[in-house]
Amino acid sequence: MYLSPDDIRQTRLATLDNLLAASQIWVDASGRFADLGLRAGRQTLEEGRGQLEDLIAHEPLRFELPPLQQMSAWRGDSAEWMREAFEIIGDAQQGLLATARDQVATLDTILLRQMDRAALSADATGEAAIDHVKQAIREAEAGFKELTDAAARGTDMVEEQIRQVSEAIAAEPGTESAKAPRSRRTRS
Of the given ranges (5-9, 29-33, 85-89, 96-100), which has the lowest mean pLDDT?
5-9
Would the pLDDT of 34 be above 80?
yes
**H-type helices in the chain, by residue range?**
5-57, 68-120, 124-170
CB 181 within 8 A of CB 160: yes
Task: For the chain, give the mean pLDDT.
Answer: 82
| 137: confidence class by pLDDT, cuts 50, 70, 90 | confident
Report DSSP state, residue 182.
P
Cis amide linkage into residue 60, ω under 30° from 0: yes
C-alpha angle 43/94/139, rounded to 5°?
170
**186 burial via Cβ count (<10 Å: 0-12, 13-18, 19+):** buried
The number of CA neighbours under 13 Å toward the Cβ of 47 is 14
Q: How many residues does the chain have?
A: 188
pLDDT for res 32: 92
pLDDT tens digits along 36-82: 989 888 888 888 888 788 777 777 766 777 777 777 788 888 888 88
Say if residues 133 and 170 touch (Cβ distance below 8 Å). no
Nearest CA-CA partner of 25 in 100, 81, 80, 83: 100
Question: Is the pLDDT confidence value at 178 over 50?
Answer: no
